[in-house]
Structure 1
Amino acid sequence: MSELRICGLQKSFDGNPVLHGIDLSVERGTLLALLGPSGSGKTTLLRVLCGFERADRGTVEIDGRRVAGDALHVPSEQRRIGYVPQEGALFPHLSVADNIVFGLPRAQRRARHRVAELLELVGLPASFAERAPQQLSGGQQQRVALARALAPSPTLVMLDEPFSSLDAALRLETRQAVASALAAAGATAVLVTHDQSEALSLGHEVAVLWHGKLIQTATPEIIYRRPVTRELASFIGEAVLLQGVAARDRVTCELGELTLAAPAKDGAVDVMVRPEQIRLWRADETTPDGTASFDAIVQDVIFQGQDAAVGLQLQSAARTVVRARVPGYRTPQPGERVRLAIDGDVTAYARA
């Protein structure tokens, strides 16, 4: 598999800019999750990379070969890109085997080249080769679509929200199977998604598109713990935002004096805390020595089985309500008095 290099990529439709100077690199064997809200330009970027749309400006290189730029536009069929669409798009009149070999040369189609190997790679039994697509579950169809994309040994695999139509349990199972298959094939892949948990759990790296601009590319942990804007912090997961004052590597807010994950400019800031960082103790429990805790009253509880979202009103600031996330077995009751403390460092954003 190969590397992908994008430089200064721009695309407009009817004079309306959609992509604004995208610069991005994807190393060999990497699964990059391209994340962003609806309308951020994810699908447009995918279509430009695949050659379905022509770039206005900028360059695209795959494994050192330029496929777009300076009036150059290599057709999609010559880019050696495997493409997995949202719904799988299998041909209903062809068997699973014939779907997998559809894009291969005639001799290889007749020989059903690598069908058994590819089915095994995506976690399906060889006996599925003779089945019709409509005899498979949605997750199995997506695995066959991936096998079809891998059959010609492409230089790059593009996945366009391939799990969005699956129910929750099937989505998780299919995600794991697809990730394992891509890793086993040593594939370089770009997964387009608006699902934050999908991007964080599957991507070796996550690139975030926001209004047509690439605002951050980093590991999933950094994207989640240190998002570059407060808007991204709220998009990538639940976020508690409080006003505070930063000084060097510390920040003071209504939850005490906290350590910053990265230095912030001294002065007024918004402090971002993840709900799972807020630890709770019942009023009659003893907190660990040296832990600064704050009294609060439970306002509301949303129980979700393995965990629960808890709304808390701080007693030191009657109008301040924060939301914590606690293990399901430690779920408090509305009206209960508790104590809370912050675990770990936090991120701050300068206030204008």
Structure 2
Amino acid sequence: MSTLRISGVSKSFDGHPVLQDVHLTVNSGSLVALLGPSGSGKTTLLRLLCGFERADAGTIEIGGARVAGESLHLPAEQRRIGYVPQEGALFPHLSVAGNIVFGLPRTQRRAQHRMAELLELVGLPQSYANRAPHQLSGGQQQRVALARALAPSPGLVMLDEPFSSLDAALRLETREAVARALAAAGATAVLVTHDQAEALSLGHEVAVLWRGRLVQQAPPQTLYRRPVTRELAAFVGEAVLLPGRVAGGAAHCALGALPLADGIRHESGDVDVMLRPEQIDVLPPAAAGDGTLDALVREVTFQGQDAALTLELAGMPTTLRARVPGYRTPRPGERVRIAVGGEVSVYPR
């Protein structure tokens, strides 16, 4: 497979900038999740990569070969990109085998080139080759769409929100199967999604588009723990933001003196302190000790495996969100003790 490099890509429609100076690298054999809210430019960037649209500025290289740049726009069919759309888009009049080999040369289509290998790669029995698409579940159809994309041995695989139409249980099963298939094929892939959990669980790296700009590209844990802006912190998961001050190498706020995350070097001064709700450990009232604080449970949202709490700190006009395992869910009106674990990020005020 091939390395993808995007350098300084910009695109406008009717004078309205949609992408601005985007730089992105996807190393050979890795999967990068392209994450962003609606209107951030994800679909436009995908269309530029596939060759469906022409960039206004910048260059795109796949496997060291330039496919877009000044006075250059290689047609989509010459870019060796495999594409998996949102709902599979299988041809209803063709069998599973017919769909998989559709993009191959005629001789390979007749020989059903690599059919057994591709079905095994995406976790489907060889007996499915003669089935019609309507005889498959939604998740199975997405696996066939992936096999079709991998059949010509493309340099790059693009997945355009391929799990959005599936129910929760099938979505998890299908994305795990797709991730295994891409890894087994050694594919270089870009997953376009607005689902944070999907991006964090599948991507070797996550690249976030925000208002047409690529604001951060990092491994999932780094992105979640050290987002570069407070807006990004609130978008990727749920963030607790408290006013505070950096002094003596720690962040001081209503929750006490908290250690800064690795790699954060911040001069003393006023900041917003960011931590995640799961960092707030909710303890029984009797669990007094150094570093614990009194709090009142104001609201509870039970979600099965866990619960979201709104807490009010005793003697302070400060409310914050915490998350606890479902079996330890307190009731509204209960008094609890809280402690903070882990490190925090800070943003200048």
Normalised to the residue count of structure 1, the TM-score between the two structures is 0.97
- 8 Å contact from structure 1 (residues 5, 25) kept in 2: yes
2:195 matches 1:180: no
Superposed CA deviations along residues 36-85 of structure 1, whole A, max 9, x for unmatched, are 00000000000000001011110000010000001100000000000000
Distance 1:248 1:25 in 2: 37
Superposition map of 1:98-109 within 5 A = 98-109=98-109
| Identity, % of aligned positions | 72
Greater shift, 325-334 or 156-165, is seen at 325-334
Amino acid corresponding to residue 329 of structure 1 in structure 2: Y
Distance 1:286 1:335 in 2: 19
Q: Of 326, 329, 333, which residue of structure 2 is paired with 1:328?
A: 326
Q: What CA RMSD, in Å, does the superposition of the two structures yield over aligned residues?
A: 0.8
Tell me the residue number matched to 1:298.
297
SS at structure 2 position matched to 1:89? coil
| CA apart distance, 1:184 | 0.1
In the alignment of these two chains, the number of paired residues is 347
Distance 1:316 1:21 in 2: 48
Greater shift, 170-179 or 256-265, is seen at 256-265
| CA apart distance, 1:284 | 2.2
- 8 Å contact from structure 1 (residues 19, 212) kept in 2: yes
Greater shift, 27-36 or 327-336, is seen at 327-336
2:198 matches 1:194: no
SS at structure 2 position matched to 1:158? strand
- 8 Å contact from structure 1 (residues 248, 265) kept in 2: no
Pick closer, same or farther for the CA change 1:254–1:286 going to 2, 3 Å: closer
Tell me the residue number matched to 2:338.
340
Distance 2:53 2:273 in 1: 41
- 8 Å contact from structure 2 (residues 247, 268) kept in 1: yes
- 8 Å contact from structure 2 (residues 8, 23) kept in 1: yes
- 8 Å contact from structure 1 (residues 32, 205) kept in 2: yes
Distance 2:315 2:71 in 1: 63
Distance 2:105 2:251 in 1: 63
Superposed CA deviations along residues 266-323 of structure 1, whole A, max 9, x for unmatched, are 1110001100000011112355xxx401100111111111111111110030x21111
| CA apart distance, 1:192 | 0.3
- 8 Å contact from structure 1 (residues 294, 316) kept in 2: no
Tell me the residue number matched to 1:83.
83
SS at structure 2 position matched to 1:265? coil
Normalised to the residue count of structure 2, the TM-score between the two structures is 0.98
- 8 Å contact from structure 1 (residues 248, 263) kept in 2: no
Tell me the residue number matched to 1:114.
114
Distance 1:332 1:265 in 2: 39
Runs of at least 5 residues in structure 2 that lack an aligned partner in the other structure: none
Q: Of 242, 265, 277, which residue of structure 1 is paired with 2:279?
A: 277
Distance 1:304 1:232 in 2: 24
Distance 2:117 2:65 in 1: 29
Amino acid corresponding to residue 136 of structure 2 in structure 1: L
Tell me the residue number matched to 1:266.
268
Superposed CA deviations along residues 204-227 of structure 1, whole A, max 9, x for unmatched, are 000000000000000000100000
Superposed CA deviations along residues 93-146 of structure 1, whole A, max 9, x for unmatched, are 000000000000000000111111101100111111000001111110000000
| CA apart distance, 1:265 | 2.7
Distance 2:249 2:4 in 1: 37
Tell me the residue number matched to 2:136.
136
Greater shift, 304-313 or 37-46, is seen at 304-313
Pick closer, same or farther for the CA change 1:102–1:248 going to 2, 3 Å: farther
Tell me the residue number matched to 2:315.
316
Distance 1:285 1:277 in 2: 17
SS at structure 2 position matched to 1:302? strand
Distance 2:99 2:72 in 1: 32
Distance 2:348 2:40 in 1: 24
| CA apart distance, 1:248 | 4.6
- 8 Å contact from structure 2 (residues 288, 337) kept in 1: no
Amino acid corresponding to residue 279 of structure 1 in structure 2: D
Amino acid corresponding to residue 302 of structure 2 in structure 1: F
SS at structure 2 position matched to 1:166? coil
SS at structure 2 position matched to 1:68? strand
Superposition map of 1:1-352 within 5 A = 1-261=1-261, 262-285=264-287, 287=289, 291-317=290-316, 319-351=317-349
Amino acid corresponding to residue 324 of structure 2 in structure 1: V
